[in-house]
Amino acid sequence: MAKVVIGVMGPGNEATTSDKEVAFKLGKLIAKEGWVLLTGGRNKGVMDAASEGAKSAGGLVIGILPTGDRSTFSQHLDIEIITEMKSARNNINVLSSNVVVACGMGAGTASEAAMAIKANKQIVLIDQDETSKKFFQKIGGHLVSFVNNPEDVIESIKKLL
Amino acid sequence: MAKVVIGVMGPGNEATTSDKEVAFKLGKLIAKEGWVLLTGGRNKGVMDAASEGAKSAGGLVIGILPTGDRSTFSQHLDIEIITEMKSARNNINVLSSNVVVACGMGAGTASEAAMAIKANKQIVLIDQDETSKKFFQKIGGHLVSFVNNPEDVIESIKKLL
Amino acid sequence: MAKVVIGVMGPGNEATTSDKEVAFKLGKLIAKEGWVLLTGGRNKGVMDAASEGAKSAGGLVIGILPTGDRSTFSQHLDIEIITEMKSARNNINVLSSNVVVACGMGAGTASEAAMAIKANKQIVLIDQDETSKKFFQKIGGHLVSFVNNPEDVIESIKKLL
Amino acid sequence: MAKVVIGVMGPGNEATTSDKEVAFKLGKLIAKEGWVLLTGGRNKGVMDAASEGAKSAGGLVIGILPTGDRSTFSQHLDIEIITEMKSARNNINVLSSNVVVACGMGAGTASEAAMAIKANKQIVLIDQDETSKKFFQKIGGHLVSFVNNPEDVIESIKKLL
């Protein structure tokens, strides 16, 4: 039987310090549950921090990479899935995750959250502002959960699996 | 020199009557300017109405189709680009358009608007509610314009080209 | 009703002078039939020569581009479909063509010919050596036709449409 | 550091009994080396047999799936990467593998072998007939190795890594 895969999406270059701290902790907690972490695979922001967190707890980390340029790969990946499809790979990220988590917000993350909803996937958004909450509530309805910290993400995922 | 291509994105099954009326008129106006219309190609909602409008004015219409199932193709396409990539084709829609227009809102349209912003494309949103306006203003800044009718879309596009 | 689209595939940098001469003539003949030419869109080899030929006869030319780098775009395209998917776009090339023509041979062209056969598309190969003929005959059977010049390609396509 | 990933490609429905026996044994040997097995993920032919072989030896198996239809998924996958991109996912298969192995031959497998060569990847072909050998020798040159059994594939891969 296939492993449970949790996708963690979030900004790369534009991630805040807080986004990265939350992502690191979240990656760690995902690994502790025995779940596989899936990210966009780059060595930036939320992707990199979540991957580092999961590795620090002995987890398995899959990166779905937008390009084949190895200098942009996170050093914390176990499996490098190279798509060379740039942002079109965002759809693979969400389709391959049992639950999608968004940590931080930007255009790329918004596209992933929207694609998750389009694909009828459950999505958990951490610590978002009112503007993002209202928007994703509007387009996602019951598919969207809002939580404020990594521990609550894990609780939400357990209810969804 | 390549033709100007205007992408019109919007809901399929969930499009409102108003969305479709606006899309039909917009397709017509785009064709009258001599621009090529690009849509997601299906025989539903905004895609189909915009295509029908453009054809009614003698325009050229390109559909970027998510599947190869011909029973889902709009009957108003001149060129059928068949991707068999489902929602991942949304990225092609925005990358191939000089300007992207969103008419109506749903998860698929939101993913296209977000991908347009991610790709640094200008995007014009018609007749959106405050929730959507605030969200896309937040993630898109100066790349995003808001207008209330098809005529103003054309004026906006002329400034952007 | 959608236009007839003929895809012409062939090497880029590795195209021979003969490949390019044949491709130019073929593009011209396709345009004269009123068919749309579809190529991989780059300003190299068979793609570029076929596009130039079609434009010289007033045809409509669609390029399915592997990257967004405009310095690599053929100058003879009417419609630039930008995929940013590198070689994965080869599948779109074949799916979007009513008939696929291969002019010259290399790894990229071979992948397109094989994907055309996989998608159950008719494919016409021009002026191939015995090694290529035997291989595509083996994997493609009745889907594959072999001809020796651009005029015969047109005759073959007419029988297939 | 990322794990070594070996891609095993081959026919689905058209695989011969011999193709499947070779693929099973090859999957097993790949797992015994501690390498990750990557396949096209379906529950057919070479993909399924190689996955079953690798699982029987305790290996880790990644499937890059063409559609989201779970009834077509191999039951021997640890990680299900869902692309919904049909044959365009073939490019991801080869880009994500350190070495690509082709076992059996058909249109899909030929497209993967050609894409591997296009991406400058080493490819090992098992037990091919003269027609296929000559063709891939011609288009792939030094990137292509030919062997006759699973044990020799492992030896070839060791030299290439």
D88/B87 touch (CB, cutoff 8 Å), yes or no: no
Q: How many CB pairs under 8 A join B and C?
A: 55
- Pairing assessment for the beta strands B123-126 and A144-147 based on DSSP bridges: unpaired
* Cα–Cα distance for residue pair D39/D41, rounded to 1 Å: 5
Position A61 scores a pLDDT of 98
**pLDDT for A9-66, tens place per residue?**
999 999 999 999 999 999 999 999 999 999 999 999 999 999 999 999 999 999 999 9
Tokens of A60: 């398995």
**pLDDT for D124-144, tens place per residue?**
999 999 999 999 999 999 999
**pLDDT for D7-39, tens place per residue?**
999 999 999 999 999 999 999 999 999 999 999
Report the DSSP beta bridge partners of residue B99: B6
**Encoded amino acid at B42, one letter:** R
**Closest C-alpha among A92, A65, A97 to residue A81:** A65
pLDDT band at B101 (very low <50, low <70, confident <90, very high): very high
Please determine, for residue A85, whether its predicted confidence score (pLDDT) is greater than 90: yes
Please determine, for residue B125, whether its predicted confidence score (pLDDT) is greater than 90: yes
Measuring CA to CA, how many Å separate B105 from each of A15, A140, B131, D104? 27, 12, 11, 48
Which residues in chain D are contacts of A91 at CB distance < 8 A? 84
Report the DSSP beta bridge partners of residue D79: D62
pLDDT band at B1 (very low <50, low <70, confident <90, very high): confident
Please determine, for residue B114, whether its predicted confidence score (pLDDT) is greater than 90: yes
Tokens of C119: 């998608």
**pLDDT for C112-153, tens place per residue?**
999 999 999 999 999 999 999 999 999 999 999 999 999 999
Position B3 scores a pLDDT of 98
**pLDDT for B48-100, tens place per residue?**
999 999 999 999 999 999 999 999 999 999 999 999 999 999 999 999 999 99
**Closest C-alpha among C7, C39, C37 to residue C122:** C7
**pLDDT for B138-148, tens place per residue?**
999 999 999 99
Q: How far is B119 from chain C (nearest CA, A)?
A: 10
* Cα–Cα distance for residue pair D79/D65, rounded to 1 Å: 10
Position B31 scores a pLDDT of 98
Position B48 scores a pLDDT of 98
Query: For the residues D97-116, what does the mean pLDDT come to?
Result: 98
The 8-class DSSP code of residue D54 comes to H
* Cα–Cα distance for residue pair A61/A47, rounded to 1 Å: 10
* Cα–Cα distance for residue pair D149/D125, rounded to 1 Å: 10
| CB contact A131 to B (< 8 Å) | yes
C91/D86 touch (CB, cutoff 8 Å), yes or no: yes
C96/B84 touch (CB, cutoff 8 Å), yes or no: no
**pLDDT for A102-120, tens place per residue?**
999 999 999 999 999 999 9
* Cα–Cα distance for residue pair A62/C43, rounded to 1 Å: 36
Contact C50, C23 (CB under 8 A): yes
Q: Quick one: how many helices (H) and strands (E) in chain C?
A: 6, 7
B85/A88 touch (CB, cutoff 8 Å), yes or no: yes
| CB contact A67 to D (< 8 Å) | no
Contact B45, B28 (CB under 8 A): no
User: What ipTM did this prediction achieve?
Assistant: 0.97
Angle between helix D17-32 and helix D150-160 axes, rounded to 10 deg: 40
| CB contact B4 to C (< 8 Å) | no
* Cα–Cα distance for residue pair B31/B116, rounded to 1 Å: 22
**pLDDT for B19-60, tens place per residue?**
999 999 999 999 999 999 999 999 999 999 999 999 999 999
Q: Report, in angstroms and rounded to the nearest whole number, the Rg of chain D calculated over CA atoms.
A: 14
**pLDDT for D44-93, tens place per residue?**
999 999 999 999 999 999 999 999 999 999 999 999 999 999 999 999 99
**Encoded amino acid at D83, one letter:** T
Query: For the residues A128-134, what does the mean pLDDT come to?
Result: 98
The dihedrals phi and psi of C158, each to the nearest 5 degrees, come to: -60, -35
Please determine, for residue A1, whether its predicted confidence score (pLDDT) is greater than 90: no
Q: How far is C82 from chain A (nearest CA, A)?
A: 11
Query: For the residues C3-16, what does the mean pLDDT come to?
Result: 98
Please determine, for residue D159, whether its predicted confidence score (pLDDT) is greater than 90: yes
**Closest C-alpha among A81, C147, C129, B15 to residue D96:** A81
CB atoms within 10 A of CB D35: 21
Which residues in chain D are contacts of C105 at CB distance < 8 A? 138-139
**pLDDT for C61-86, tens place per residue?**
999 999 999 999 999 999 999 999 99
Tokens of D142: 């030094």
Q: Report, in angstroms and rounded to the nearest whole number, the Rg of chain B calculated over CA atoms.
A: 14
| CB contact B96 to C (< 8 Å) | yes
Q: Which residue of B has its CA nearest to D84?
A: B85
As a three-state string, the secondary structure of D80-101 is EEECCCHHHHHHHHHHCCCEEE
Tokens of C158: 């007419």
Position B131 scores a pLDDT of 98
Position D71 scores a pLDDT of 98
| CB contact C132 to D (< 8 Å) | yes
Position B58 scores a pLDDT of 98
Buried b (16+ CB within 10 A) or exposed e, C53-82: bbbeeebbbbbbbbbeeeeebbebbbbbbb
The terminus-to-terminus CA distance of chain D in angstroms comes to 14
* Cα–Cα distance for residue pair A66/A63, rounded to 1 Å: 9
Position C12 scores a pLDDT of 97
Question: For the purposes of burial, counting CB atoms within 10 Å of the CB of D17, is it exposed (0-12), middle (13-18) or buried (19 or more)?
Answer: exposed
pLDDT band at C1 (very low <50, low <70, confident <90, very high): confident
Q: Which among A85, A105, A114 is the nearest to B110, CB-wise?
A: A114
Query: Rounded to two decimals, what is the model's pTM?
Result: 0.98
